Amino acid sequence: MCRWAAYLGSPIFLEDIISRPGHSLIAQSQEAAECKTSTNGDGFGVAWYDQRAEPGLYRDVYPAWSDTNLRALAHQVQSKLFLSHVRASTGSAISRNNCHPFAAGRWSFMHNGQVGGFEQFRRYADMCVPDELYHHRKGATDSEILFLLALKEGLDQDPLQALERAVAKMESLSRSRGTTPHMRLSVALSDGERLYAARYSSDHIAPSLYYRWSNSRQGWAVVSEPLEQEQDGWHQLPAGGFLTLSADGPVDGAKVTDFDPNRHDVDLNCPG
């Protein structure tokens, strides 16, 4: 399992999420509190938005706590919207291409969880990615496939429906060709304007996911674990929930709807 944190709002330095809080993302990479593996040292990554539509991307295979370049970048770079991730591999190799977040065009995406038995049907899952998107397939993770399938299903038009259909496809492949747990998922994704997150599981164990509005920062944080211990204002996204955040503030800027991949019929034939 992995840990991640995302932000949307008035521009802040990346370190205000990644390294400065008492339970920052780097702190969670060394000692996570709500994770099956307390250490997440198999790489890290940051995707941030600034003046261009496409996000900047910095990823590497070092543990986040030992990379001085990450701390230097986080100390200097400000952004209104960014995604950050520390990785604990569930089977795929430790490589830069397997580190989150993933990016394609203006979209960025990161995932915590697993698709049961993915290594048993990885080649088949790859065939489900259409030719026009397959050049984005750089690594070997189930997370990257999930992202590309969501793009195929129409992230630009309807992020909720597209992600539901992508998850339904991968969960069905796991049920037919893989093992349990078929799907455990907490994800964050963005088009550079809004920040989306989802929490879901095919069993009763859904990865943790919280969100909070900060009056001092004038922005939203969405995280695997709260950034400060005993800090109030954190809301846990319910299992089977989909969160849409905008920069409009705490009253109109957050919307929670149902996330239910099971409402979609799935064709297991690939390509298709």
Half-sphere exposure at residue 30, Cβ-oriented, CA atoms within 13 angstroms: 11
CA distances from 122 to 117, 118, 144, 185 (A): 9, 6, 11, 18
Helix (H) or strand (E) holding 79: strand 78-86
- Measured distance between the N- and C-terminal CA atoms of the chain, rounded to whole angstroms: 29
Cross-strand pairs, 85: 4, 45
Nearest-angstrom CA–CA distance, 12 and 99 = 24
DSSP 215: T
The whole-angstrom separation of Cα 211 and Cα 199 is: 12
Q: Given 2, 35, 99, 128, which residue is catalytic?
A: 2
Provide the token pair at 153: 């299903």
Nearest alpha-carbon partner for 100 in 82, 118, 115:
82
Does the active-site annotation cover 2? yes
Q: Tokens 């964050």: give the residue.
A: 188
Burial of 45 (0-12, 13-18, 19+ CB in 10 A): buried
Residue 121 near residue 172 (C-beta atoms within 8 A): no
Which residues are catalytically annotated?
A: 2
